[in-house]
Structure 1
Amino acid sequence: MVYFLYIIIVIAFLDTFSQLPIIAPFAQSLGASSLLIGVIVGIYSLTNMGGNILAGQWIDKFGRKKILVIGLLFVSVCLLGYTFVTTPLQLLLIRFIHGIGGGLLVPAAFALLGDKSRSTNRGKTMAFSGACVGISAIIGPAFGALMTNFFGIDWVFYSISGLFALTALIITFVLTENYTMKLEENKFDFSQIVKLLRLPALINAYIGAFSLMLTLGILAYMLPLKIAAAGQGVAFSGMLLSTFGIVAIIFFLLPTNQIFDQVKREKTVIAGMIFVTIALTILSLFELIVVLFIAMFFYGIGFACIFPSVTALVIDHSNKNERGRAFGLFYAFFSLGVVVGSFIVGALNLAPNQGLLLGAIIMISLAMLIKSRIKIIDTYQ
């Protein structure tokens, strides 16, 4: 059953990653301004935050399976809506609605996985889940770019919509619910959210999640535009974005995954943030194709260090009856990172190289913040 959950995670992230190389150019082709492109890219993640927080409460109230199926079906319908878009404002609206539904999926899947993980190998379990995200990061951008080139952008949405609907149907008959809510947890209590927002270890997890997706939001916006300005097609953007996923998967599946249960989680997060900073700096300074691939190699290592560590922190510091809320908040910070990243570079009307360099500066600053907080964690424990 755990392996089935891994497959679900691959599919859940496929929606987001398949759109990375196509949304900014799609918005641009509809006549959107630089600022509006940033809003269009980021609005999904903004409403995704709301979906994450709602999902966290519902997952702990109604169960993981129900919310997962509802989210898959909701997103399936939303994806079909993209095929009717003809103006930037219509694209903005469908991204707004899509984000709400998308916010239900990932927290439910990871709450299920967290329930089944053992305390002795949570880092390794999350590394395997990271490999699933990496697989999506490989397949998604390449699929979205190639499908757009050969069949048109509508077929990206048709195909992913069908996949989500089929997955919801399979889950309905195959997956068993492994969580039962206690009666005293039937009512929403805001203090439960406050508690999860105040735990020092979870704060570091939230910062790590925010920083990781902030850079991905900047990449989703700036890298395709940089490649297009250099005269390359959308397929090349997809190849670059897929590269970091390949590297991350290798890192997750090799014996290197043992470090996630042997090294303090915050330390691997900081190491990953340094690698991401190096990658963004290289991307901002160079145009040579070989160098761009090297940069994405470093980004892949950074992703591989950050993702399992921050997700394992959430499991470590939440019990089963609050894990849905913990992951809901966690992925809300994921979404917030994409919102902030894409909005800042769009609002400042930055050139691609400037936007990528800004991402590097923000990332290293947040890495220093987590490092300064490690002493707080040690004191708290």
Structure 2
Amino acid sequence: MRVNLLFIVAFLGFIGVVDTSIISPIIAVYAESLGASKTLAGLIAGLYSIVAIPSSIIMGMIIDKIGRKRGLIIALISDSLVFLLYLFAPNYTFLILVRILHAIFDSLIFPASIAIIGDFLMRRIGFSLATFWSFTAIAIIIASATASILVRFLGFSSIFIVLLILSSIALFIISITEIPTLYKSSIKQSSEIIKKNIKELSLAFLSMFAIYYINGVIVGSLGTTLTSFYPERIAASYVGYFMAIATASAIPFFYLSSRIINIKGLLFSFRLGLFVSILSNVFLYLYIISEINKIYYLKIANVNILYLIGSITLGFSLGILFFSSSYIPARVNGSGRGGGSGIVQGFSLLGIAIGAPLSGFILEHLGLGFQFLIAIFPPLVVLLLTFIIKS
């Protein structure tokens, strides 16, 4: 039962990420096709994160109140309906409502999944969390590769039909899977448990904010930086390749993280991940400088070594910090696992929401590459905080 449950939860991780990863690249264009202006299309694209930040926190606590299975059934039924609404959206005003509903109900999946791992898979928590995160990484890679292909050859509707099928499969699997309710608590009780463990949980919250801030900087400004050296399509593809390499590189480090924690401790794991995330920004800055100065000897087979090292070091830090940040809420008292995991999710979205637009502002006003130097500060501050936290 535990092995089956692990792969069911891992599949939930896949489902929870593949929908946003496959919709995000095309949603602005879809909104524009429904009559939205370019500005409004951009707002609709970002609306998911804006709504999901507070709803992640609330929905995490609701998971503690209503139970893991019930929360997942609500989420998957709602997601299936949402994909139908995407498919038949008559105009951009309706699409705005759909984006809000998608963000709210999608926020149930991650905290419920992490809570289930903590409830039933504690004896193999390291392997379980690593497998969960590996499935999410695979989802990102697959979604990034297939979104544009589906839209190009089959149209926007194909995206929502595929997601509807996947969500329906997940709903069926969860419906027939026995997931006993071990913990139930009021939102007040969940909040009290989070407060009691806030010292450890804050490290998870802040670390996820820091690493997702870096992700936001890359998504928000690496492409526009590279348009100074390459045509727009090539610049955009370089961002996609960078994130694909980083995501794939993270997978072995999900599994390595468990061993690092067992041998060196949780604080060491956080420190290592934060330090390497700082290095990834340094390599990105040096990469941009090498492009500015046309230092061609750093290229092998037309790939800049600094670009490659930057993506791999980012993958290293993603693997370590994703694992470590979910490890903490999975181990708190069962009645607070959903709430703690929900706040972790909220802080990750906040990192992207701040990092992406701020990096564009920094790029415009300070010049090429400076956004990566400034992106050093969030992980650096959290790294320094780890030396204040003694336990």
Tell whether the structures are fold-level matches, with TM greater than 0.5.
yes
Q: CA deviation at 1:174?
A: 2.0
* CA gap 1:26/1:243 in 2 versus in 1, 3 angstroms: farther
Which among 309, 320, 342 is matched to residue 305 of structure 1? 320
**Residues 279 and 22 (structure 1), Cα distance of their counterparts in 2 relative to 1, 3 Å cut:** farther
**Separation (CA, whole Å) in 2 of partners of 1:282 and 1:90:** 45
Does residue 327 of the first structure (1) align with residue 328 of the second (2)? no
Deviation (angstroms), 1:32: 4.1
Q: For 1:67-96, what per-residue CA distance to the aligned partner results, in whole angstroms no more than 9, with x for missing partners?
A: 112112212222333334576655444322
Q: Distance in 1 between matches of 2:21 and 2:369?
A: 19
CA distance in 2, matches of 1:230, 1:89: 30
Matches of 1:283 and 1:151, distance apart in 2: 37
Structure 1 residue 191: deviation in Å? 5.3
Are positions 1:180 and 2:183 aligned together? yes
**Is the CA contact (8 Å cut-off) linking 1:9 and 1:109 kept in structure 2?**
yes
Which residue of structure 2 aligns with residue 241 of structure 1? 243
* Correspondence for 2:303: 290
> 2:167 matched to 1:161?
no
Shift in Å, 1:323: 0.9
2:135 is aligned to: 132
Q: Distance in 2 between matches of 1:87 and 1:240?
A: 34
Match of 1:63 among 42, 61, 67: 67
CA distance in structure 1 between the partners assigned to 2:9 and 2:312 by the alignment: 27
The TM-score with structure 2 as length reference comes to 0.80
1:215 aligns with 2:231: no
| Cα displacement (A) at 1:356 | 7.1
Report the counterpart of residue 201 of structure 2 in structure 1: 202
Distance in 2 of aligned mates of 1:87 and 1:357 = 39
Residues 145-192 of structure 1: per-residue CA shift (max 9 Å, x gap): 2222322233112211221122112210124234232xxx34635852
Match of 1:339 in 2: 353
Is the Cα–Cα contact under 8 Å of residues 257 and 269 in structure 2 kept in the other structure? Answer: no
Counterpart secondary structure, 1:129: helix
More divergent stretch after superposition (223-232 vs 71-80): 223-232
Root mean square deviation, CA, Å: 3.4
* Cα shift readout 1:178-229 (whole Å, capped 9, x = no counterpart): 4232xxx346358527716x72221111011112222333444445666795
Once the 2 structures are TM-superposed, how far is the Cα of residue 49 of structure 1 from its aligned partner?
A: 2.0
2:79 to 72, 75, 78: 75
Larger radius of gyration: 2
- In structure 2, what is the Cα distance between the partners aligned to 1:353 and 1:304? 31
The CA distance in 2 between the partners of 1:8 and 1:180, in whole Å, is 20
Contact 1:64–1:108, Cα closer than 8 Å, also in 2: yes
Which stretch shows the higher mean deviation, 166-175 or 223-232? 223-232
Q: Which residue is 1:46 aligned to?
A: 50
Is there any run of 5+ residues in structure 2 with no aligned partner, and where? 293-298
User: 1-side partners of 2:19 and 2:120: how far apart?
Assistant: 25
Whole-angstrom distance in 2 between the partners of 1:117 and 1:47: 31
Matches of 1:276 and 1:146 in 2, distance apart? 30
Which secondary structure state, in structure 1, belongs to the residue aligned with residue 250 of structure 2?
Answer: helix
| Distance of aligned partners of 1:304 and 1:283 in 2 relative to their CA distance in 1, 3 Å threshold | farther
Aligned 8 A contact 1:21 1:237 in 2: no
Deviation of the 1:265 alpha carbon: 3.0
The AA in structure 2 aligned to 1:258 is R
TM-superposed deviation, 1:17: 1.8
Which stretch of the first structure deviates more once superposed, 64-73 or 366-375? 366-375
**How far apart are 1:308 and its partner, in Å?**
0.6
Percent of aligned pairs sharing the same letter: 24
Cα pair 1:273 1:363 within 8 Å, conserved: no
Match of 2:296 in 1: none
Flag the 1:373–1:256 CA change in 2: closer, same or farther, 3 A. closer
**CA distance in 2: counterparts of 1:28 and 1:218, whole angstroms:** 25
Q: Offset at 1:333?
A: 1.0
Segments of 5+ residues of structure 1 without an aligned counterpart are none
Distance 1:65 1:84, change over 3 A: same
Hey, what's the Cα distance between the residues in 2 that align with 1:7 and 1:345?
33
- Tell me: CA distance 1:93–1:168, structure 2 relative to 1, closer, same or farther (3 Å): same
| 1:109 aligns to 2:113 (yes or no) | yes
What's the TM-score, normalizing by structure 1?
0.82
Contact 1:123 1:309 in 2 (8 A): no
Q: 1:274 aligns with which of 244, 268, 278?
A: 278
Number of aligned residue pairs: 369
Match in the other structure for 1:368? 380
- Deviation of 1:321 after TM superposition, in Å, equals 1.4
